[in-house]
Structure formats: structure tokens, C-alpha cells
Amino acid sequence: MAAAGPSVFLLMVNGQVESAQFPEYDDLYCKYCFVYGQDWAPTAGLEEGISQITSKSQDVRQALVWNFPIDVTFKSTNPYGWPQIVLSVYGPDVFGNDVVRGYGAVHLPFSPGRHKRTIPMFVPESTSKLQKFTSWFMGRRPEYTDPKVVAQGEGREGENAEAERLKAAQLMLPFSSQ
């Protein structure tokens, strides 16, 4: 390692957001971003991405397949704050408004190799029935101020979230350390 900076280890992630199961919805797209601790810094690759819109497959699985690639490299000095990938899925509602269909987060795998993760997705619920109706009607569902909050614990106590279905992100993680 060069004398200038502190010694770091690298975390390379190749992978893809493969598919999702959202039985009720169609024409969804997904965004991903990473949440990581203070000691982490991205060195290469894209930290955020937004996928194409995909339609449900016509077979019984009804999978929404994106196969949206992820390729990012982090460097860090400390395993604390291991990066988490945060996925949020959006799609049109009945009126054509773009609304969020799910949030989910998972830590990047800790060991090298090929990993497949299934992430449960959820959306925050309206605090009251009336709000639920109006939000449905106006197409402005409750959303997180920032999708990254799903990777944090702070301030999530009072939250009322409706769990949704799941989605698989396949991550391949060649891991190198120096």
C-alpha cells in the first residue's frame, strides 16, 4: 500500500438485480443505491442506478425480470458500516402516477462467491384509513424522505409499514483485500 493513505481493503461487487415478484403490480422499475458507514468510500463503479421498466412475464411465475447489473467497488478501513444495498421499486398506479411499490435493503455478502439474496420489500403505510384513501386517490403514497432510511435503524420506531413481496438480487462478490 502506498505510504500516503491508510491501508484499506477493497470490496468489489458484481451482480445484478434479477427479478421480482410483485403479484399485484406490473410495469415496475427499480432503483438501487448503497448505504455505508463513515469508513467506507466508493472507488469505482456506480453508486446508484435506475433500471428499465419491465413487464411481468406471461408464464405462471409472473416474474418481473430486470437483470439490471450492479458493479461497484468500495474501499474501507473498517468493517463497521458494511455497505448495504437499498432497493426501491416504483411503478404506475391506476391513475398513472408513479408510486413506490417497495423498499428493501440487504447487506452486501460478507464472503466472496456467488450469492443470491431475496429481499423482502415493504412500503410505509398511511397513518389512517382516510389518508390511505386520499393517498390512493391522489396518487401520493407515503414515501420515505430518502430510500436510504430503510438501511438505518434510527427513528423507525413509530413507523407502520406494510410488508410486500420479495425480489431477488443476485450479487457476485469477488473479494479482494489489501
Q: Which of the stretches 3-11, 48-56, 57-65, 107-115 binds other proteins when contact is defined by CB under 8 A?
A: 3-11
Residue with smaller CB distance to other proteins, 3 or 111: 3
**Phi, psi torsion values for 150, nearest 5 degrees:** -65, -15
Question: Of 114, 29, 102, 108, whose CA–CA distance to 72 is shortest?
Answer: 108
By CB under 8 A, tell whether 143 contacts other proteins: yes
By CB under 8 A, tell whether 110 contacts other proteins: no
Q: Which of the stretches 58-66, 106-114, 115-123, 168-176 binds other proteins when contact is defined by CB under 8 A?
A: 115-123
- The secondary structure element, H or E, covering residue 169 is strand 161-173
Q: Within positions 67 to 86, which residues make up the interface with other proteins, using CB under 8 A?
A: 76-78, 80
Q: Which residue of 16, 62, 126, 170 would you call a contact of other proteins, by CB under 8 A?
A: 126
Q: Which of the stretches 34-42, 55-63, 84-92, 108-116 binds other proteins when contact is defined by CB under 8 A?
A: 34-42
By CB under 8 A, tell whether 6 contacts other proteins: yes
Question: Of 90, 44, 91, whose CA–CA distance to 71 is shortest?
Answer: 44
By CB under 8 A, tell whether 24 contacts other proteins: no
Closest CB 52 distance from other proteins, rounded Å: 25
Name, in order, each residue with C-beta under 8 angstroms of 125's C-beta and a sequence gap of 6 or more.
132, 142, 160, 161, 162
Give dist(CA 154, CA 41) in Å, integer. 22
Closest CB 38 distance from other proteins, rounded Å: 5
**Cβ–Cβ under 8 Å, residues 161 and 11:** no
Residue type, position 121, single letter:
M
